[in-house]
Amino acid sequence: MTECDFLVIGAGPAGYVCAIRLAQLGKKVIVVERERVGGVCLNWGCIPVKALLHAAQTVRDATEGKRLGLMFLPPEIDLVALYGWKGRIVDRLVRGIEYLFKVNGVELVRGNARFAAPGEVVVESQDGEQRILASQVIIATGSMPTVLSGMEPDGKVILDSNSALRLVELPKHIVIIGAGVIGLEFATLFSRLGVKVTVLELENQVLPGFDTDLAQVVEKALDREGVAFHPGVKVSQIAREPVVTVHYDKDGTDQAVETDKVLVAVGRRALSHELGLDWVGVKTDRRGFIKTDGAYRTTVPNIYAIGDVTEGPLLAHRAMAEGIALAELLAGTRKWKFRAIPSCIYTDPEVAVVGMTEKEAQEKGREVKTSRVPLSAVGRSLTLGRSEGFCKMVVDAKTDKVLGVSIVAPQADVLIAEASVAVELGLTAGELGRVVHPHPTMSELLFEAAEAIHGRAIHIANR
């Protein structure tokens, strides 16, 4: 029997960050992990996908060179080498987290954890069973892809986002079910690697949770790249013989598309079902997400939950922020809560949002002012070969405080950090407009949007 102050189950972005911060605050911490450290984000999500998207962007740049007067031969893609390169990046970062555990004195126990009692966890591994007693247990076990009944991934023909990263050769055609974040990032990736891509989506636009005007820019860009998009359809079955065929319903008629592979990207669900939560009384919702209060407490005292396994946006940076917040709350050093959680989608152009949209602000009874600056107002975007997109800012009409920003533009993922600072710290559009933004950079989009709130943007015709 091993004893510790804090036991963290899961070494993804929520768990490893929480464990390191607890250790920095002088606590004895054990982390249990059954796979490699780093979680989905590092092993199967953010990092490998972004590495591959970088490679895909290089292909696109070479192909687009002609427009700039640069001629390249069509790129040859060695998928094994490409996936190998991506794998080495992941390996290096995995070793980095293991090193950080070591230098911070975090103990890593390998195996599968489940509760025996509220403060007692059994860890099963090839070496047998180990029991750990902990004063406080933090659940950070993450999420996994949702499965469509009768269309379960087999890793060969029907893929999920994990098996799509294990391909040994590129298919000629892939059908992607779901035009959400994962579906569109893979659509961008595969189409640039020369694969014919068809996307089937239940709702009537890509990125259904996002504003239609943002989604339309992305939809147009995908269309230009040759991605076929079918909105408002419901997939009914995938037949494998004589050829792989995806059947779907469109306005009451059965339609079909032949393909080589199918990627199912219809959301994610919590990875909580193997933990024995019922046994100790930790409550979850219908999809397994653990219910917590504002301080990450579950329904059982001294058991906490953070990251993807809880209700909220499934984002690595939300998980990391909660890891730090919980560690500091438990150590008694935390006095504040974070508000702004940005969200980025790595399509081309990228989409990034933070805070409230105009509609959300109005629904909350706020009187708002808005501005919208097109990409063409910023010289740098044209030098990057991009002119479609915009930045939208929503501010409180009475206080001038920035409530939300939406960006669809190259480098939107970086730009949203400034907007997040503004929303988190309650900065006003007037204050943002006083800050000198370097020229020529994409950051001028935010400057112009802030100035446009007061009708004084230089590079657009103010209303």
Nearer to ligand NAI, 111 or 208 (CB): 208
Residue 173 appears among annotated catalytic residues? no
How many CB atoms neighbour CB 375 within 10 A? Answer: 23
Rg over alpha carbons for the chain, rounded to the nearest Å, is 24
Backbone angles phi, psi at 340, to 5 degrees: -90, 120
Angle CA 188–193–198, to nearest 5: 50
- The residues facing 351 across adjacent strands are 345, 408
Which has the closest alpha carbon to 281: 258, 302, 250?
302
Nearer to ligand NAI, 17 or 344 (CB): 344
Shortest Å distance, C-beta 390 to ligand NAI: 20
Shortest Å distance, C-beta 148 to ligand NAI: 6
Which has the closest alpha carbon to 151: 170, 167, 168, 175?
175
- The residues facing 256 across adjacent strands are 247
DSSP reduced 3-state for 119: coil
The residue number whose beta carbon is nearest to ligand NAI equals: 180
Nearer to ligand NAI, 167 or 181 (CB): 181
Shortest Å distance, C-beta 21 to ligand NAI: 22
Shortest Å distance, C-beta 142 to ligand NAI: 11
In the chain, the largest separation of any two C-alpha atoms, in whole Å, equals 71
Shortest Å distance, C-beta 203 to ligand NAI: 5
Residue 352, Cα to own-chain centre: how many angstroms? Answer: 11
Shortest Å distance, C-beta 183 to ligand NAI: 5
Residues that bind ligand NAI (CB under 6 A): 45, 148, 177-183, 185, 200-203, 208, 234-235, 265-268, 314-315, 344-346
Q: Return d(Cα 393, Cα 390) in angstroms, integer.
A: 10
Which has the closest alpha carbon to 151: 266, 41, 46?
266
How many CB atoms neighbour CB 103 within 10 A? Answer: 9
Q: Return d(Cα 178, Cα 170) in angstroms, integer.
A: 20
Nearer to ligand NAI, 412 or 423 (CB): 412
**Residue among 273, 317, 439, 459 flagged as catalytic:** 439
Percentages helix, strand, coil for the chain (3-state, rounded to 5) are 35, 25, 40
Residue numbers annotated as active site: 439
